[in-house]
Amino acid sequence: MRTACVPLSADAERRLDTDSCLPGDLYEVMLSDATVDLLFDSGFLTTLNTRFGLLPSRAVTVRTRIAARSSTWP
């Protein structure tokens, strides 16, 4: 299992980048390893990044953050 963390504001994103998030900064959802692979392999996250005008490199950052979080992460 992995935890996907989505910052809820620009300030929350900056805190996430420095691992100093405050309670309520993130929307977190648990995903199985198979679901994470499916989201990336299907191009779903790339489509979201394109639709919302996010930098393509953010998908790599998101994948790294998801991969780095285990189900035991607080």
Q: What is the pLDDT of residue 55?
A: 56
Please give the Cα distance from 14 to 49 (Å, whole number).
18
Q: What is the pLDDT of residue 56?
A: 53
Q: What pLDDT band is residue 25 in, cutting at 50, 70 and 90?
A: very high
Please give the Cα distance from 65 to 60 (Å, whole number).
9
